[in-house]
Amino acid sequence: TIHRLLTDKKVHIYGGNQTRDFIFVKDIATACCLALVTNTRGVFNISSGTETKIDELFYQVSKVSGRPDVVPVYKPVRIGEIQNSVLDNRKAIKEFDWHPRYSLAKGLQETIHYYSNTLNFEIRKSNLLDLKKELFI
């Protein structure tokens, strides 16, 4: 979705009322490091513990990416798709004294900033390759 918004392509949403539990990668990395240094064993859910509707995610992504005017193309929910998914992270919070630090909005800001810089680099690289071809052909 982020790439499609940044490159002016249509964004498709299948349903939109489904919920997911989104977490920023730096929060996952922190939890993994704490798991390594904590004398604890077992299975832990590393999650935000918060349900977010896909529609709300799109709204936030479009706003942060500077494209709040974009209207997604809605399609029917895919057959067999899980409608609601959120994990219980209380065990990780208790055992590792860990808490997610990034809100959805802050994580999206960092992610979109990264995508924008990467996309701009790829465009500049492509333009340089085109220029090189013109100069040496």
CATH code at position 131: 3.90.25.10
Please report, rounded to a whole number, the percentage of residues in the chain having pLDDT higher than 90: 70
Q: What is the mean pLDDT of residues 32-57?
A: 94
Give residue 100's domain range. Answer: 2-136
Q: Are 75 and 28 in contact (CB under 8 A)?
A: no
Q: What is the pTM of this model?
A: 0.80
Q: What is the mean pLDDT of residues 86-105?
A: 96
Q: Which among 104, 77, 85 has a CA at the least distance from the CA of 16? A: 77
Instruction: Write down the pLDDT at residue 119.
Output: 73
How many domains are there within the chain?
1
3-state DSSP call for residue 73? strand
